[in-house]
Amino acid sequence: EGITVDELSQKIGQTPANVIKVLFMLGTMVTINSSLNDEQVELICMEYGLECKKVVPVSEVNFEDLEVVDDPKDLVPRPPVITIMGHVDHGKTTLLDHIRKSRVAEGEFGGITQHIGAYQVSVKGKKITFLDTPGHEAFTAMRARGAMITDIVIIVVAADDGVMPQTREAVDHALAANVPIIVAINKIDKPGADPQRIMTEVSELGLMPEEWGGDVPYVNISAKKGIGIDELLETVTVVAELAELKANPKRMAYGSVIEGRLDKGRGPVATLLIQNGTLRSGNPIVVGATYGRVRQLVDDRGREIKSAGPATPVEITGLNDVPEAGDKFMVFETEREARHVGEERAQKKIEEERNSTSAMSLDDLFSQMKSGEVVDLNIIVKADVNGTAEAVKSSLEKIDVEGARVNVIRSTVGAISESDILLASASKAIIYGFNVRPDANVRRKADEEGVEIRLHQVIYKMVEEIEAAMKGMLAPEM
Ligand code: GDP
Q: Point out the residues of the chain with pLDDT beneath 50.
A: 106-107, 356-367, 369-370, 474-478
Select from 89, 98, 189 the residue to mutate for testing ligand 1; criterion: most ligand atoms less than 8 Å from CB. Answer: 89
In angstroms, what is the span from residue 89 Cα to ligand 1's centroid? 6
- Report the Cα–Cα distance between both ends of the chain, in Å, rounded: 56
pLDDT recorded at residue 245: 94
Q: Are residues 211 and 48 in contact, defined by beta-carbon separation less than 8 angstroms?
A: no
pLDDT recorded at residue 114: 64
pLDDT recorded at residue 356: 47
pLDDT recorded at residue 379: 86
In angstroms, what is the span from residue 237 Cα to ligand 1's centroid? 24
Query: Does 167 sit in the ligand 1 pocket, CB within 6 Å?
Result: no
* Inter-CA distances, 281 with 8, 251, 252, 284, Å: 39, 15, 12, 9
- Secondary structure E strands in 252-312: 254-263, 267-276, 279-280, 284-287, 290-293, 297-298, 307-308
Show binding-site residues for GTP: 86-93, 132-136, 186-189
In angstroms, what is the span from residue 212 Cα to ligand 1's centroid? 28
Sequence letter at residue 129: T
pLDDT recorded at residue 366: 42
In angstroms, what is the span from residue 98 Cα to ligand 1's centroid? 11
* Inter-CA distances, 186 with 83, 211, 302, 414, Å: 16, 18, 30, 38
Please report the atom of ligand 1 found closest to the CA of residue 97: 7
Q: Is 199 helix (H, G, I), strand (E, B) or coil?
A: helix
* Inter-CA distances, 462 with 55, 309, 399, 450, 457, Å: 51, 45, 11, 20, 8
pLDDT recorded at residue 428: 76
ipTM score: 0.99
What's the whole-model pTM score?
0.67
* Inter-CA distances, 466 with 403, 404, 446, 448, 454, Å: 14, 11, 20, 23, 11
* Inter-CA distances, 234 with 123, 202, 239, 397, 400, Å: 7, 21, 9, 46, 53
